[in-house]
């Protein structure tokens, strides 16, 4: 069995609830200090989208999983947000949240925190309403295909966002770089890519699933962006404190990258 088919088989056991529990509840989602990883991620996104430079008609989020936190600052700047995931269970979790079904994961502390750091005094319910209204398409995706959505996205997206997906679905650095090049084809020339991801991670848990991750360093991310034709605009990294090394993965840190596709391809 190839590593890719082993990965696909692993994802059949991915449990969205367990994944959310492992990563999006305390201690990682502790909003009392930006030393914790979730507020750090939300700060990177809020500051980058606050520049107003990244905007347009469509933003596509690659490998959304069962999470919406990554879209909270972005959603103010696009008419439509397209969420995507390989797994039907994750797409269904997102649809349930977008419809406001009872019993879905409670993202309200995240939304409140983002409204606070954006500092515009916006009621959090207003942001929640806007994201739900703009999250109109939730599509299947496979980043290992040269056409990740199965058909070209026309017109191409003005921005691409992806959080903790490409390294978590790639057996090695070459596959990670290829996956980045595949998803970059969804982006228009001049469009922006915003990436969050794991550094130095070899596995993570999501219920019965133990998913292998390609351990990346900062140089790997920079080289993959360069190889996919992006110009790097911003790079930040975060070292995972000992208190957040809870055993749900072996991540060393997190990277945040903002890159841009040149106007001429």
Residues contributing to the site for ligand SAM (CB under 6 A): 11, 14, 63-65, 67, 70, 85-87, 90, 141-144, 163-165, 168-169
Whether the Cβ atoms of residue 66 and residue 93 lie closer than 8 Å to each other? yes
- Give the shortest CB-176-to-ligand SAM separation in angstroms: 12
Q: Where is the binding site for S-adenosyl-L-methionine, in residues?
A: 19, 24, 63-64, 69, 85, 90, 142-143
- Give the shortest CB-164-to-ligand SAM separation in angstroms: 4
Nearer to ligand SAM, 9 or 101 (CB): 9
Maximal C-alpha separation, the chain: 53
Nearer to ligand SAM, 40 or 122 (CB): 40
- Give the shortest CB-178-to-ligand SAM separation in angstroms: 12
Nearer to ligand SAM, 54 or 169 (CB): 169
Q: For strands 56-62 and 231-239, give the pairing.
A: unpaired
Nearer to ligand SAM, 41 or 261 (CB): 41
- Give the shortest CB-44-to-ligand SAM separation in angstroms: 13
- Give the shortest CB-253-to-ligand SAM separation in angstroms: 15
Nearer to ligand SAM, 18 or 117 (CB): 18
Q: Where is the binding site, in residues?
A: 19, 24, 63-64, 69, 85, 90, 142-143
The residues near 94 (Cβ < 8 Å, ≥ 6 apart) are 64, 66, 68, 83, 85, 135, 138
The residues near 106 (Cβ < 8 Å, ≥ 6 apart) are none
Nearer to ligand SAM, 85 or 128 (CB): 85
- Give the shortest CB-163-to-ligand SAM separation in angstroms: 3
The residue number whose beta carbon is nearest to ligand SAM equals 65
């Amino acid at each position: 069995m190839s590593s890719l088919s082993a990965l696909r088989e692993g994802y059949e056991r991915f449990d969205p609830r367990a994944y959310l529990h492992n990563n999006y509840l305390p201690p990682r989602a502790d909003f009392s200090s930006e030393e914790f990883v979730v507020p750090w991620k939300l700060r990177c996104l809020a500051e980058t989208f606050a520049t107003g430079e990244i905007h347009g008609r469509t933003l596509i989020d690659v490998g959304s999983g069962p999470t919406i936190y990554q879209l909270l600052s972005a959603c103010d700047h696009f008419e439509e947000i397209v969420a995507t995931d390989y797994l039907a269970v994750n797409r269904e979790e997102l649809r349930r949240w977008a419809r406001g079904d009872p019993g879905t994961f409670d993202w309200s502390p995240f939304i409140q925190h983002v409204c606070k750091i954006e500092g515009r005094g916006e009621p959090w319910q207003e942001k929640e309403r806007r994201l739900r209204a703009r999250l109109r398409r939730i599509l299947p995706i496979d980043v290992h295909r040269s056409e990740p959505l199965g058909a070209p996205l026309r017109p191409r997206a003005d921005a691409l966002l992806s959080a903790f997906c490409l390294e978590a679905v790639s057996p090695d650095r070459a596959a990670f770089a290829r996956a980045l090049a595949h998803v970059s084809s969804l982006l228009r020339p001049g469009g922006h890519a915003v990436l969050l991801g794991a550094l130095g991670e070899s596995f993570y848990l999501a219920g019965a699933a133990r998913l292998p991750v390609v351990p990346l360093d900062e140089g790997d991310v920079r080289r993959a962006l360069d190889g996919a034709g992006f110009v790097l605009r911003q790079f930040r990294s975060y070292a995972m404190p000992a208190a957040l090394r809870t055993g749900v993965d072996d991540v060393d840190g997190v990277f945040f990258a903002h890159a841009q596709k040149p106007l001429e391809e």
